[in-house]
């Protein structure tokens, strides 16, 4: 049973925690959003300060090619993983796989869940088998025929295996074949990998936060992302550019003005998706509610951003009465309980 209250565990065992992360770097990049998923040093230090404030001993471990050596030297009790990985469709699974190989407990989902969730098409195929409604889609490959499998325009184009709205620019929706061809040409010129073509759902946008496991799992009420103006023609897209200037383009409402039936459907589907993929400790799922009131699952992020004052997940938690330091502690305690390292 999911809980909706804002209580968080106060007691945290005095453990040595290694915060594992990828850091944004200055320099020349292939695209403006190339490092969108990576964290700033301010976010890493915010997590460190929250853990130290809870009585833990936190050390910083950048997830570069020397990570295994650093892990052997530091002798940590548990890793607090926010690393996105370096390159490739399976990059989010790199750090959890290393930690599991070395038998080091860690916060967050395992390599399998993270790899599946990063692949939007694979996730949609899986959740559809659990009767979760998701827009029609097609996977489009470079230098291959474009087959839309009966999809209707408008169609939104995004990389299959990216997060943080990476590859979703201010112009991402095509209303006809000509615009679709132009979008694909642009995206294939900048991003590696396949593209996801998905029927664009006009309507309201919601995001949902999840924290904890089993009987302690809590799913926060959906937060609505309310657009102040269209982001492209008459479309509303939560793009990378919008996220960068969110105060200009959107406002956030939680609790949202949404009927209970739709809210319950979103919450139940989020729980279903977490169970289907094996997401643990914390996650965030995105939905569109069409003009006829149907809720459409878009994607889930089992490694949601924790940038204070910016990322949607801490924003959701704060709307529900959980301050940033408490949120970080709550993620750690969820993992400690799961490993039997704290009282359940």
Residues 304-344 pLDDT 10s: 999 998 899 999 999 999 999 999 999 999 999 999 999 87
Are 37 and 174 in the same domain? Answer: no
With pLDDT > 70 as the criterion, what percentage of the chain qualifies? 90
Decide if 179 is inside a domain.
Answer: yes
Decide: 78 and 107 in contact? Cβ < 8 Å: yes
Q: Which structural domain range is residue 320 located in?
A: 16-133+201-338
Residue 294 shares a structural domain with residue 153: no
Which of 148, 165, 199 corresponds to the end of one domain? 199
Q: Report the domain count for the chain.
A: 2
For residue 283, pLDDT over 80 is answered with yes
Residue 3 lies in a domain: no
* CATH code of residue 173: 3.30.1490
- Based on the domain organization, do 191 and 60 belong to the same domain? no
- Minimal CA–CA distance to 255: which of 224, 231, 217, 283? 224
Q: How far apart are CA 220 and CA 314, in angstroms?
A: 11
Instruction: Please check whether residues 309 and 164 belong to one and the same domain.
Output: no
Residues 180, 295 within the same domain: no
Residue 241 lies in a domain: yes
Same domain, 56 and 83: yes
Residue 9 lies in a domain: no
What lies within 8 Å, CB to CB, of 113 at 6+ separation is 277, 278, 279, 280, 302
The pLDDT assigned to 32 comes to 58
In tens, the pLDDT along 93-130 reads 999 999 999 999 999 999 999 999 999 999 999 999 99
Between CA 81 and CA 67 the distance in angstroms is 12
- Separation CA 196–CA 171 (nearest Å): 15
Domain co-membership, 218 together with 323: yes
Whether residues 143 and 125 share a domain: the answer is no
Residues 210 and 334 grouped into a single domain? yes
Tokens of 316: 């959701």
Give the residue from 344, 312, 306 showing the smallest Cα distance to 327.
306
Judge whether 121 lies within some domain.
yes
The conformation of residue 214, written as its DSSP 8-state character, comes to G
Rounded CA gap, 19 and 212, in Å?
19
Do both 104 and 36 map to the same domain? yes
- Whether the pTM exceeds 0.75: the reply is yes
Question: CB burial class (10 A; 0-12, 13-18, 19+) of residue 317?
Answer: buried
Per-residue confidence at 13, pLDDT binned at 50, 70, 90?
confident
Which of 199, 220, 239 is the endpoint of a domain? 199
Query: What span, in angstroms and rounded, lies between the C-alpha atoms of 86 and 225?
Result: 30
Going by C-alpha positions, the residue among 2, 51, 6 that lies closest to residue 335 is: 51
Flag whether 344 is in a domain.
no
The last residue of one of the domains, among 199, 226, 251, is: 199
Residues 99 and 215 in one domain: yes
CATH of the domain at 66: 3.30.470.20
Does residue 261 share a domain with residue 220?
yes
Residue 1 covered by a domain: no
Q: Are 272 and 134 in contact (CB under 8 A)?
A: no
Task: Tell me the average pLDDT across 280-294.
Answer: 96
Q: Is residue 114 part of a domain?
A: yes
Q: pLDDT tens-digit profile of 137-177?
A: 999 999 999 999 899 999 999 999 876 455 566 678 999 99
pLDDT score of 4 more than 50: no
């Amino acid at each position: 049973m999911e809980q909706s209250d804002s209580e968080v565990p106060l007691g945290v065992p005095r453990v040595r925690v290694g915060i594992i992360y990828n850091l944004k770097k200055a320099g020349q990049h292939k695209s403006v959003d190339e490092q969108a998923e990576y964290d700033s040093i301010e976010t890493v230090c915010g997590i460190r300060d929250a853990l130290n404030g809870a009585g833990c001993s936190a050390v910083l471990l950048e997830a570069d090619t020397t990570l295994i050596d650093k892990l052997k030297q530091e002798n940590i009790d548990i890793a607090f993983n926010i690393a996105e990985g370096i390159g490739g469709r399976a990059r989010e699974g790199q750090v959890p796989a290393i930690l599991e190989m070395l038998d080091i407990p860690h916060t967050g989902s395992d390599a399998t869940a993270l790899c599946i969730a990063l692949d939007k098409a694979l996730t949609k195929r899986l959740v559809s088998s659990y009767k979760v409604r998701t827009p029609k889609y097609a996977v489009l490959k470079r230098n291959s025929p474009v087959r839309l499998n009966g999809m209707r325009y408008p169609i939104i184009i995004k990389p299959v295996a990216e997060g943080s709205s990476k590859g979703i620019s201010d112009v991402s929706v095509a209303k006809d074949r000509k615009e679709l061809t132009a979008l694909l040409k642009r995206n294939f010129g900048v991003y590696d990998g396949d593209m996801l073509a998905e029927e664009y759902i006009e309507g309201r946008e919601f995001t949902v936060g999840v924290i904890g496991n089993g009987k302690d799992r809590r799913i926060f009420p959906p937060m609505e992302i309310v657009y102040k103006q269209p982001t492209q023609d008459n479309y509303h897209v939560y793009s990378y550019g919008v996220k960068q200037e969110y105060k200009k383009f959107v406002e956030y409402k939680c609790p949202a003005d949404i009927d209970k039936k739709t809210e319950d459907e979103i919450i139940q589907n989020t729980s279903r998706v977490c169970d289907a993929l094996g997401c643990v400790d914390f996650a965030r799922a995105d939905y569109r509610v069409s003009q006829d009131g149907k809720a459409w699952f878009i994607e889930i992020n089992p490694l949601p951003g924790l940038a204070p004052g910016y990322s949607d997940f801490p924003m959701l938690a704060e709307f529900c009465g959980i301050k940033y330091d408490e949120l970080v502690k709550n993620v750690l305690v969820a993992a400690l309980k799961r490993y039997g390292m704290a009282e359940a």
